[in-house]
Amino acid sequence: MSTSLFRWSEMNQYSERLIWTVESTVPVWLRSSFDRIVSSQGLEAAVDSELRDREIGRAVDWLMSELRDLLGSEPWEQRRNPLDLLRQSTVSVSRELERLGARPVVRDEFEERSFPDDMFALCPATWIDVHPDLHEVGLEWGAWKAAAIISRRRTTEERSDLP
């Protein structure tokens, strides 16, 4: 069995766990993020719950499709990461908040610098910002990815040392 094949089977374990956890936590996170802003600004009466749920559903569908594509590729070929996708999934929620007339929220210096377009402070800085269940799963996946890339480099370097 080749190293690549062995590593790929490990990746499936970590990827599947991450995918399952994202899929089970993100819809609730997006909705509660939306509802938090709406409630804090007194916009409950303006909310079209069907439209809100449809937009959240679209965001989740987009996220899951992108996440599966990302995690289905070799770790060393990935140019984005799952947290980046989670951050991008907030765009449609932000648009709906803007449509309702929500005002941008006060953000700290880190948020303003790291997520300049995130006017409602929805973007997660870490896994735990989405849900506590994602913390361990996300860290395990990231550690596995780093180990896979390092292992591949070492294998490549060892092969290049052969005559």
Per-residue pLDDT reduced to its tens digit, 19-36: 999 999 999 999 999 999
Task: Work out the mean pLDDT of the chain and round it to a whole number.
Answer: 89
Over 80: is that where the pLDDT of 69 sits? yes
**Mean pLDDT over residues 76-87, rounded?**
93
Digit-coded pLDDT (tens) for 92-122? 999 999 999 999 999 999 999 999 999 999 9
DSSP class per residue in 51-68 = HHHHHHHHHHHHHHHHHH
Q: Which domain holds residue 89?
A: 3-161
At residue 3, the pLDDT reads 41
How many folded domains does the chain comprise?
Answer: 1
pTM, two decimals, is: 0.85
